[in-house]
Amino acid sequence: MAIKGKSNTPLKLGLLLLLCPLLLWLVLLVILPQLTMLNISLQERVAPRIYEYGLSNYIEFFTEPLYWNTFLRTAVMSIIATILTLIIAFPISYYIAKMLRGRAKGLLLVLCLVPFWVSELVRTYGWMILLRESGVISSFLQYIGFTEGPIEFLYTDATIMLGLVYSSMLFMVVPLTSTLESLDDSYIEAGYDLGGNGLSVFWHIIVPHAKPAIVSGCIVVFMLTLGNYLTPILLGGKSSLWFTEQIFTQFITRFNWQQGSAFGVLLLSISSLIVWLGLKLSRQSFSKVMS
Amino acid sequence: MIPSIPQSALFKSSFRIYAFIFFTFLMAPLVVVAVFAFNDSMFPSLPWHGFTWDWFFSDQEPMLGLFHDPQLYQSIATSFLVATCTTVLAVALAVNNAFLFERATFRGKSVLYMLMLLPLVIPGVILGVSILIMSSSIANYFDDVWAIDIELLRPGLTLVVIGQFAFITTICTLIVAARLRSFDLSLEEAALNLGATKLQAIRTITIPYLLPAIIGAAVISFLMSFENFNTTLMLVGSDSPLTITLYDRLREGATPVINVVSLLLMLASVVLALGNYFLSGRKSTAE
């Protein structure tokens, strides 16, 4: 690594000292593990404790409908969860950014943050207390005479979706709110002055302005949802069929590390692909979206 | 509200109602967790059997309170240990990285910066298993070739710390680097003009300036480590941190003692996070 400008030795030494810890961390804990995973995923068992390179783990994935369907299902549900999160978050962000002033604004924004300081486990547990057969909502519905017997709300796709949207909300509301705040009110006024109505102002002024935040929010939410493990497991139970669960099963329960690695590589690839596509479509840089 | 635009009362009140429903949705799970910590019953569900502190303090089965449940309070201690180690490592490396990315110029810096952000796109489960695979591969190699069993590389607390350190560092780096970016270099130059060495200037001027960000990064790192589940699950050995113990209890069938732990966890994290939020908020407006 060469240094621009003055290249005296103490500076070089200093740079080296700063670089070493970062490189050690990056190579040993981030890059090498992923490469090891890729390497293991390409090995197939030919005899006990004897492995050869081959694609059988990936072929297994494409020929076994269970794996393949779980993967598709996870991706589709993540996309739906992302869209739902965006639709639910947008009015709230608009309300906080444009319709509130002063203390109320700060207060509501902090309220949005509170659930995310709490462990995901605790939040999901809260939903279980609310939604299970003997839970609060079921008891309430019986109390007001809406139903005769208890209702089980857990272990359905709708519940998983609810949990996913809930745990993603912050990552949509925060970027949206800060971007909408930076939209000058006079632009909206000008839109109305020029004869626009609520809908056309929304579509031609507010949405284009918020687009960078929409894209980065969607990317982050999609990524987190795809890699989520707790919410689908606890709210979906045995029928959750989530891909990360499949990875866990291969590694920990079935001890088939080659197959598990192949799944890991696939999940990482689709996740990176979607992030890359999102960035390309919106012409944003990875560094900017992430920070 | 943008004052110059006439908006109907219906429009405004529908927003207000929507916001009310939204915040009910946001808070409901947290509120029920807190409320059922005080239910005098074996199950965290209705009907309400009256208020009790038993799930905190009772020392009798079956309503064993948190403070008499060794499995629970030992796992809290384990989580503390893990979170402290992770925080020290992550914050130290974050300060180092911040100086590297904000001060140094070298070829390939932007590529390195992108690589540094990578842990944010790797799902926690994958990060966990990949570190598990690598450390086990190394351990197996040593075992096969030299017949040395390296206990540290087998699933256990060391690996949990390593796994959490791998992604929390990125978040801490972003926090510290943002603060260092807003630092006025002329302050450091003034110190140099007054006869300080480069290191003295950094120690007496720059580090105190960075301190709020360092504390903020430490708080966030501690919280993230304490509450992490996905990465930890893949790397955990026989000593389980709190989230793993809670998860096992949840699958067996929860009693309100889980609510008590969750309530304390919520209170601690909200106090820490709010303190950090207002502290950093006040600091940044003061400057």
Q: The CATH number of the domain where B126 resides is what?
A: 1.10.3720.10
Interface contact flag, A40 B277, Cβ < 8 Å: no
Residue B277 lies in a domain: no
pLDDT per residue of chain A (291 residues) written in tens, 0 to 9: 444 444 455 567 778 888 888 999 999 888 999 999 999 888 887 777 777 788 888 888 888 888 888 999 999 999 999 999 999 999 999 888 888 877 788 788 888 888 888 888 889 989 988 888 777 787 788 778 777 777 778 888 888 999 999 988 888 998 898 888 888 777 878 887 787 777 777 888 888 888 888 888 888 899 889 988 989 988 887 777 888 888 888 888 888 888 899 999 999 998 888 888 877 777 666 665 555
Residue with tokens 């629970």: B72
Within-domain flag for B157: yes
B98: closest CA of chain A, how far (Å): 9
Interchain contact, B273 vs A271, CB within 8 Å: no
Q: Are A180 and A202 within 8 A, CB to CB?
A: no
Q: Name, in order, each residue with C-beta under 8 angstroms of A234's C-beta and a sequence gap of 6 or more.
A: A124, A125, A128, A163, B250
Whether residue A284 is contained in a domain is answered as yes
Q: Which of A29, A128, A275 sits opposite B165 (nearest CB)?
A: A29
The answer to the question of residue B63 being in a domain is: no
Look at A271 and B29 and tell me if their CB atoms are within 8 Å.
no
Q: What is the CATH number of the domain that holds A199?
A: 1.10.3720.10
Best to test chain B binding among A7, A101, A114, A288 (most B CBs inside 10 Å)? A114
Q: Which domain covers residue A244, as residue numbers?
A: 56-117+154-290
b/e for B234-250, b at 16 or more Cβ within 10 A? bbbeebbbbbbbbbebb
Residue A8 counted as domain residue: no
Please name the amino acid found at residue B221: S
- Cα torsion angle, A245, A247, A253, A259, sign: positive
Residues of chain A contacting residue B155, judged by C-beta atoms under 8 Å apart: none
Nearest residue of B to residue A269, measured between CA atoms: B122
CB within 8 Å: A248 and B121: no
Chain B residues within 8 A of A131 when measuring between CB atoms: none
ipTM metric: 0.83
> What total of structural domains would you count in chain A?
1
Instruction: Indicate whether A24 belongs to any domain.
Output: no
Is B31 inside a domain boundary? no
Q: Is residue A148 included in any domain, yes or no?
A: no
- A51 falls within a domain: no
Domain that holds residue B247: 69-253
Asked if the structure places residue A36 within a domain, the reply is no
The reply to whether A217 falls in a domain is: yes
Q: What is the pTM of this model?
A: 0.85
Task: Answer yes or no: is B25 within a domain.
Answer: no
Tally the domains of chain B: 1
A122 contacts B266? CB cut-off 8 A: yes
For residue B166, tell me if it sits in a domain.
yes
User: How far apart are alpha carbons A227 and A244 in whole angstroms?
Assistant: 6
Q: For residue A136, tell me if it sits in a domain.
A: no
In a domain, B47, yes or no: no
- B107 part of a folded domain: yes
CA distance A127 to B18: 21
